[in-house]
Structure 1
Amino acid sequence: MTLMPLSDRHLREWLWFVVALGAVLRVQGLGWDHGLILNPDERNIITAAARLSYPDHLVSDFSAYNGLALYLPRFFAALISPFIGTQGSDPAAIQFAGRVLSALWSSLTLVILARTAQRSFSPRVALFVAACAGASPGLIQSAHFLTTEAGLILCLCVMIQLCQFYNRGEIPLLRFALLSGAVVGLGFGLKTTALVFALCPLTAVACSIRARNQVVEVIKAGGAATVVVLVLALVTTPQLWATPDAYFATMRFEGGVVRGTTDVFWTYQFVGTVGGLFELSQLPWLLGPIVPALGLAGMVALVLDLRRGNRMALEYVPALALAIVYGAIVCSWHAKFVRYLAPLLPLLILFSGYFISQLRVGRIRAGAMLATGVVTGLAGLMQATIYQKPDPRIAAWDWMVPRLAAGDGVVVEPADVGPPYWIPSATPLTTKMLPLLDVSSPDKIARMADVLAGSRWLIVASRRHYSVLPRLLGRFPEMCPYYAALWSGRLGYQLVATFRRRPVLPPLLDPTGQAEETFTVFDSPQVFIFEKTVPLPAPALVSAISDSASCAPKH
């Protein structure tokens, strides 16, 4: 008995089933940290949004994100507050509302990508694109955070589809310009990065000009689009005109962080990385191991097809131009957070579909789609399931509470979102912070020794310090021997418990050791708990921390 090939109608049904399944992966597990706001980016947005009030405080004093990034979750929290039993100004309510919005934006992105692919490719290739997008670990992750990435990706995908409509003559120039201006303006309301999306309609229009008399029409349409962008920018981000000094001071600070001219601890992880190569190494964690290679191959195939005059290739010139320009910009930055790569993810997925569509041998094309779909699906499912498991930081604290004794000292690391040791406990505790980020000096080592000597427990809540500071020997020469002594037990502390929620994988497949820390520290860190088993005096601890000859850090 032979199986009948799937008809186009059946393939379309499977396409929307895959889109629905991708939406399910995005909306499940949104309360994964039980409202404790363990993500610092979320905490910044939530803190600013919670301070907004009518009518006395409508303009935020926080400008790292633009107005819509604050107003939307704050308004939606107030809208759903009767159903969740908390006030709209409650931080936990704002967090939940913002995550619901992110999941919604990400789900709508799947619909737009599916429609775009459906119009360009065969039903099988469109199904392939939808499956890769639905299971993309990076897109699933962004749907579980109250940040701007999911909204920005949606704006970009809408822009790509508008360019597709315009390229096919389905919408006139002026309407295309006004709609594009609206998308850029609303995207700017989330984050300034959206301004670069204007490159897409500019490229689409430039490719469509056939006669000199069209130039005047293009200039008029461009002027109209610019007005729309400016109006929406001023409306959605009132900080621009209400508190311009504070707004642009924040932009200068953020620019310094991106360029590496502003010294902040959260970019230490990028010291010594190579622009371009580092970003390429992160794409498999965001898209699965095969899609990035197919996407890059698709870009090359697109360029070759443009030289041959392929009509379908022309539809994706705006996406290609944005991918090249934005990719070059991001790769030139010192700060290389994977969230900066977010706009490239849907583009690479579409380009992977383009490459697959160019394969002429049916068996090769089917095999490539099947292998990529299975591997990407497993990667996405692995990412989605972590939000159903206990957060390692919460699990670590729950484990510690019954073991704590009155007066215990608990050592934590700075600038880390550690276990929720701020949760009230019946046991009085003393929390002490190691000065790991202080300027290197004998006094710093002495203070570290005093903290360790006077405590019983030590919590390493993520890899944020131990995977970065030991590499910065010129700036933190004591950190490599400190961690070497800690892991080996020479500080008198023994590792008694480890908590993680990602499955144990071979090192090559485990993002907790290789992916940029945004991808692991904020939603699935590996937490280590140490307990003092051999009390050592401060001088002995100073000697151990200063022993650079024994520096051989683990992990």
Structure 2
Amino acid sequence: MFFTKKNFVLLIILFLAGLLRFYNLTWGFPFFFNPDERNMATAITELRLPGDLSQIPLCLIGQISPISSVGDGDCNLNPHFFAYGQFPLYLAFVSDQAFKLVLGSISSVLSTNFPSAIFWLRFWSAVFSILTVLMVYLITRKLFTNSNSHGFPRISSQISTDPRKSVPLSVFIPPLLAAFTPGLIQSAHFGTTESILTFLFLFTIFLSLKLFDPKKHSLIKFALLNSLVLGLAVGIKVSSIVFTAIPLFSALFYCFETLEQKPLYLKRIVIFLFFAILLLFLTGLFFAVSSPYNLIDWTSFKSAVFGYESDVARGTIDVFYTRQFINTTPIVFQLQKIFPYALGWPIFISGILGFIWINFQLILDKLQRHNPSISLRVKDNLSLWILDFGFIFYFLPNSFLFVKWTRFMTPVLPIFSIFSAFFLFQMYNFFINLSCLIQKSKIKNQNYNSNLKTNVRFKFLVVVLSFEFCVLSFIPGIAYLSIYSNPDTRIQASEWIYENIPTYDEILSETANVYDLPLPTTENLEPRTKNYNVIPFNFYDLDENPELFDQLINNLTKSDYILVPSRRIFANYLRLPEKYPLVNKYYNLLFSGKLGFEEVKKISSFSQFSIFNFPSKISDEILQGKQFSIPDESAEETWSVFDHPVVRIYKKSKSFTKYEYEFLFKQ
């Protein structure tokens, strides 16, 4: 029966996850600031099919050619974009056409405009993010059923009265934490591939755990299901090939540890090799089906993925948008610049402690096998091995890449919710056991009933503290919604410029932005009549190109305002003064006021949450109507610059001549 108490609790969690992910999904319209999202949407606009459904088969046959050009005829399925595969592009395109069919607005040529492409990319990103929360629940439940609960306690009454189907309420804590994880909420609001890949990554872990169900499972079926998931993942992003390590690791354990008939060692090797070959072959097959132009247009695919994209990831070419990673330390960077913001401090700290605790437990398990005198409560840690291996095998290779963008860590964010809950459960068990020991030590000297009441109170206190921890873990995710509740900071900055800066004033800005500020329209989409001479200066190459310095001096003498649209340049270059001395000098002079400009406006949209309606007697200074912000400008660059960059505007307060500016830079 579907509508059980267990499913009701799960539906509530998924509903909350949906609210958090679909909330203001059209943020930023009509401006779209995420470059990956824009590139994917542009590729979708190139796709076309004939409106006559009978012509589609001929169209598909004709598309088996790498030379089909953009804009040629009424049929094109080659997106001519290979940073990512075709599956998410086709999914958004087909969704748009199906929606138009329902509305009865099908035209002679099936195509998708840019805003619609953005919407459907975000729609499916949000859907897969919700499915990720569901997958966290399924994985947690498998950990509970496969391995004698792995420390997941029955914090309260069980959902079912049937002991064979009993599910402790504690298994709902990890998906609840995942539902409120800020990084997953952000990725759901971007029409990119991270949400899909995160879901597929967890799906491979779930299938691997399912292999060790008490019921007997076929390795062939296991290979088929995993290859479908892996084929889609690799088709979307080739680097997802690392996902294959999880089913291979699981199959290796299955062949050498759990086969009931205990065949000869050589036979076990043959079985595993057969599985590995079958898995890789079927993965390649589904890879080709999900993203066919990766093979049809092999030259373009190879050039993009194994050329430019690979060079950027490894840092073998210098591009302006990866300079934040110069001289960064793997793992330390993620621990400092990504996880505290993408997870929130409660889940981050408890997740790290849970990860350490799990690995300590696994090491003890290994020692116990060689030394029976070592006692360990958990009898079977195989499922924890699979989860731990999947996390480590994905985390380490991506941590040691030169580029360390937040999105590279998105697939492991939901696993932190499991680690965090594991730590919470272990602490719960520890304090409950401690209360029992205290009770036993005092039972001889005290009344039994009084002692029992004390124990019950202690357990209640532990439950309350656990509940408070969960509430604290929800705050970063709830606060992150404020970013999508307010107008984008670039829109706010544009409005301020139009209202406060006179027409025809000179504004010195920075180049290489998706949009130059001020944006051409207001919030009501009405064109502005004011005109400004905005100079998008190339600060990225200031130290390499001597001509740019002369241009900068000339621009400073005539500029009335300076606009800093994000932290992209100054935050990355100020930590490298020896490599970029001129850029460092410029920003140090600007921020200190010595450049002759003073800050007149700083527009930010950090995560915020409010505590309302508390009596002023409680705390006039802290609680009464106050908003608490979570500053995150020091996080990894892409965490903030795509949806909530801090915009700074400086007004000239003192004029200098060209020679005076040159003297300032030489000091």
Give yes or no for TM over 0.5.
Answer: yes
**Residue type matched to 2:569 in 1?**
H
Contact persistence 1:416–1:464 (CA under 8 A): no
Over 3 Å counting, the alpha-carbon distance change for 1:538 and 1:50 in structure 2 is farther
Distance, in Å, in 1 between the alignment partners of 2:646 and 2:485 is 16
After TM superposition, the structure 1 stretch with the greater mean CA deviation from structure 2, 110-119 or 76-85, is 76-85
Does residue 92 of structure 1 match 2:115? yes
What is residue 452 of structure 1 aligned with on the other side? Answer: 556
**Partner in structure 2 of residue 6 of structure 1:** none
Is 1:407–2:504 an aligned residue pair?
yes
Q: CA deviation at 1:338?
A: 1.3
Work out whether 1:516 is the aligned partner of 2:636.
yes
Q: CA deviation at 1:301?
A: 4.1
- Is the 1:184–1:198 contact (alpha carbons within 8 Å) kept by the matching residues of 2? yes
Which of 471, 491, 513 matches 1:374? 471
For residue 312 of structure 1, report the CA deviation from its aligned partner: 4.8
1:421 aligns to what?
Answer: 519
SS in 2 for 1:147: coil
Distance 1:84 1:263 in 2: 49
Closer, same or farther in 2 for the Cα pair 1:228/1:174, shift >3 Å? Answer: same
DSSP 3-state at the match of 2:601? strand
Identify if the C-alpha distance between structure 1 residues 318 and 276 changes in structure 2 by more than 3 Å, giving closer, same or farther. Answer: same
1:176 aligns with 2:231: no
Pick one of 491, 515, 540 that aligns with 1:394: 491
**C-alpha contact (below 8 Å) 2:567/2:646 kept by paired residues:** yes
Report the Cα distance in structure 1 between the residues aligned to 2:576 and 2:300, rounded to whole angstroms: 33
Question: Which structure 1 segments of 5+ residues have no match?
Answer: 1-8, 550-555
1:436 counterpart (539, 546, 549): 539
Q: 1:372 to 1:193 in 2, by over 3 A?
A: farther
1:304 to 363, 382, 386: 363
SS at match of 1:290: helix
> 1:323 aligned to 2:391?
yes
Q: What displacement does 1:145 show?
A: 0.2
Asked if structure 1 preserves the Cα contact closer than 8 Å seen for 2:481 and 2:607, the reply is: no
How many Å apart are 1:368 and its aligned residue? 6.4
Partner of 1:552: none
> Over residues 60-98 of structure 1, what are the superposed CA-to-partner deviations in whole Å (9 max), with x where a residue is unaligned?
221111111322223323333576999952211111111
Tell me how far apart the structure 1 counterparts of residues 79 and 488 of structure 2 sit (CA, whole Å). Answer: 31
Q: Match for 2:47 among 32, 45, 52?
A: 52
Partner of 1:337: 405
Match of residue 529, structure 1, among 649, 653, 667: 649
Query: 1:253: how far off?
Result: 1.7
Tell me by how many angstroms 1:190 deviates.
Answer: 1.7
Q: Does 1:31 align with 2:39?
A: no
Given the superposition, is the C-alpha separation of residues 84 and 50 from structure 1 closer, same or farther in structure 2, using an over 3 Å criterion? farther
Indicate the residue corresponding to 2:159 in structure 1: none
Shift of 1:153: 0.7
Alpha-carbon spacing, 1:433–1:84, altered in 2? closer, same or farther (3 Å): farther
Answering whether residue 601 of structure 2 is matched by residue 497 of structure 1, we say yes
Whether 1:111 and 2:134 are equivalent positions in the alignment is yes
Distance 2:465 2:548 in 1: 56
State whether structure 2 residue 209 is matched by structure 1 residue 164: yes
Aligned equivalents of 2:651, 2:335: Cα separation in 1: 39
Kept after mapping to 2: 8 A contact 1:88/1:94: no
Moved more, 102-111 or 359-368: 359-368
Q: Contact 2:28–2:488 (CA<8 Å) still a contact in 1? A: yes
Instruction: Give TM-score, length-normalised by structure 1.
Output: 0.89
Match of 2:191 in 1: 146
Match of 1:480 among 584, 590, 593: 584
Instruction: Give the structure 2 partner of residue 262 of structure 1.
Output: 317
Give unpaired runs (5+ residues) of structure 2.
50-58, 60-74, 145-151, 155-167, 370-377, 433-458, 522-526, 610-621, 623-627
Aligned residue among 526, 538, 550 for 2:658: 538
Aligned-residue Cα RMSD (Å) equals 2.7
Shift of 1:277: 0.9
Equivalent-residue separation in structure 2 for 1:73 and 1:542 (angstroms): 53
Q: In structure 2, what is the Cα distance between the partners aligned to 1:90 and 1:48?
A: 10
Q: Bigger radius of gyration, 1 or 2?
A: 2
Q: Which residue of structure 2 aligns with residue 284 of structure 1?
A: 340
Aligned to 2:15: 20
Deviates most, 308-317 or 238-247: 308-317
One-letter amino acid of the counterpart of residue 117, structure 2:
I
Aligned to 1:247: 301
The separation in 2 between residues aligned to 1:261 and 1:387, in whole angstroms, is 36
Q: How far apart are residue 329 of structure 1 and its match?
A: 0.8
CA change 1:457–1:157 in 2 (3 A) is: same
**TM superposition shift of 1:504:** 7.2
The yes-or-no answer on 1:228 pairing with 2:287 is no
CA distance in 2, matches of 1:11, 1:288: 28
Kept in 1, the 8 Å contact 2:10–2:172? The answer is yes
1:456-510 C-alpha deviation (Å, 9 max, x unpaired): 332211111111112222332111221122123333322221111115799x984
- Larger deviation, residues 288-297 vs 372-381: 288-297
The answer to whether structure 1 residue 101 and structure 2 residue 124 are counterparts is yes
Figure out how many residues of one structure are paired with residues of the other and give that number.
538
- How far 1:176 moved relative to its partner? 1.0
CA contact (8 A) 2:574 2:584 kept: yes
- Give the C-alpha shift of residue 425 in structure 1: 2.7
Structure 1 residues 16, 63: CA separation in 2 closer, same or farther (over 3 Å shift)? same
What is the CA–CA distance in structure 2 between the aligned matches of 1:90 and 1:156, rounded to whole Å?
Answer: 31
Question: Does the 8 Å contact 1:512/1:525 carry over to 2?
Answer: no
Which piece of structure 1 moves more, 533-542 or 149-158? 533-542
For 1:64, what is the secondary structure of its paired residue? coil
**TM-score normalized by the length of structure 2:** 0.75
Name the SS of the counterpart of 1:342 in structure 2: helix
Q: Is 1:74 the equivalent of 2:93?
A: yes
State the 1:116 CA deviation: 2.4
Q: Alpha-carbon deviation of 1:198?
A: 1.1
Give the letter aligned to residue 161 of structure 1: F
Identity of aligned residues (%): 26
Q: Would you say the 8 A contact 2:44–2:90 is kept in 1? A: yes
Q: CA deviation at 1:215?
A: 4.1
Aligned twin of 1:464: 568
Which of 128, 134, 140 is 2:173 aligned to?
A: 128
- Out of 252-261 and 416-425, give the one that drifted further: 416-425
What is the Cα deviation at residue 100 of structure 1?
0.8
Give the Cα–Cα distance (whole angstroms) in 2 for the partners of residues 108 and 84 of structure 1.
30
Distance 1:390 1:84 in 2: 33
Q: 1:540 to 1:387 in 2, by over 3 A?
A: same
Structure 1 range deviating more: 425-434 or 300-309:
300-309
